[in-house]
Amino acid sequence: MSILDDWTRQAIDELGLDPAVLDQRLVLDVARDVAHGVTRPAAPLGTFLLGVVVGRGATPTAAAAQLTKLAQQWPERGPGQ
């Protein structure tokens, strides 16, 4: 197992969550898409927002698709951003 997998398993246990609630690849893909499409600091904010909206009942794949689409449509970053 990788360090990421080990940490994720421990975090899920620590927070008392059902491991089935996490689609690790989906979350990492959203973080990547937002980091590359917007700016790196937006990645954790994007994944946090994904968690909030899923916690409110949204489907994870639909919410991830919305965030990815927004990131892909984001205006290009200028120099130094």
Cβ atoms within 10 Å of 34's Cβ, excluding its own = 26
* Cβ atoms of 43 and 29 closer than 8 Å: no
Reported pTM: 0.86
Residue 66, Cα to own-chain centre: how many angstroms?
12
Give per-residue pLDDT as tens, 26-63.
Answer: 999 999 999 999 999 999 999 999 999 999 999 999 99
Give per-residue pLDDT as tens, 53-75.
Answer: 999 999 999 999 999 999 999 99
